Amino acid sequence: MNEKQPGLRDRTRRAVQKEITDAANTLFVERGYEATTIDDIAAAVGMSQRSVFRYFATKEEIVVGKFDFVAEQMLDVLRGRPVDEPVWDSLRRVFDLLVPYVDAPGHHEVAEPMQRIVFDTPALFASYLQKLQLMQDGVVTALTERAETAGAPYASDDPAPRVITAAAFGCLVAAQYAWLAAGAKGSFAAAIDRAMSTVGPRD
């Protein structure tokens, strides 16, 4: 087995990371992202600036780092879907993973303002788009493998899997725009449904 128990060391590491993100997010919402300094965050958590950088490579990563984890989960979900399910439907299921991050019931005090901060701060928005691109890379790989498993592999130069994935993620971002513009009311899942019914693969 290549499985490994998290071990105490890893667990405390995650705990400290969460402490930092929580403190940072509070500050970001209070004072704004750019107005908050790494030293501010370090002081709030009670550690040195250098140590904060031992948990997060960049300031942006404090905000968007969680999406690395989401990207992994996406692969699990996608691989768990039936191989004969239409690709567009599988992708729709994959996006269910993001719903709790966006539509977070309960912590509307922090989650929603943070979302606006991401969309309004150029540096953060760029990082977010980049993470989405990373997710797409994983999805494209999984989709390619799945097609092979199903006995209908894509040609090596066929752009189809990437195009379909890109279109689906485009729907995702558009849905998020619409949802935020409408005041973050209503269900985010419904916004995705609506977006993904507007375009789709051709055959």
Residue 86 and residue 64: Cα distance in Å, rounded? 30
What does the binding site for DNA look like in residue numbers (CB under 7 A)? 7-9, 12-13, 16, 36-39, 46-51, 53-55, 57-60
Q: How far is the CB of 44 from DNA (least distance, A)?
A: 12
Could you give the maximum distance between any two Cα atoms of the chain, in Å?
58
Comparing CB distances to DNA, the nearer of 64 and 139 is 64
Q: Which stretch binds a second copy (CB under 8 A): 7-15, 18-26, 30-38, 175-183?
A: 175-183
- Is residue 48 classed as helix, strand or coil in its secondary structure? coil
Q: Which does 16 bind (CB under 5 to 8 A by kind): DNA, a second copy, none?
A: DNA
162 near a second copy, judged by CB under 8 A: yes
CB 73 within 8 A of CB 66: no
Q: Which does 4 bind (CB under 5 to 8 A by kind): a second copy, DNA, none?
A: none
CB 65 within 8 A of CB 56: yes
As given in the structure block, the two tokens for residue 83 are 């191989």
A 10 A CB-CB count for 143 gives: 21
Segment 65-124, which members bind a second copy (CB under 8 A)?
Answer: 122
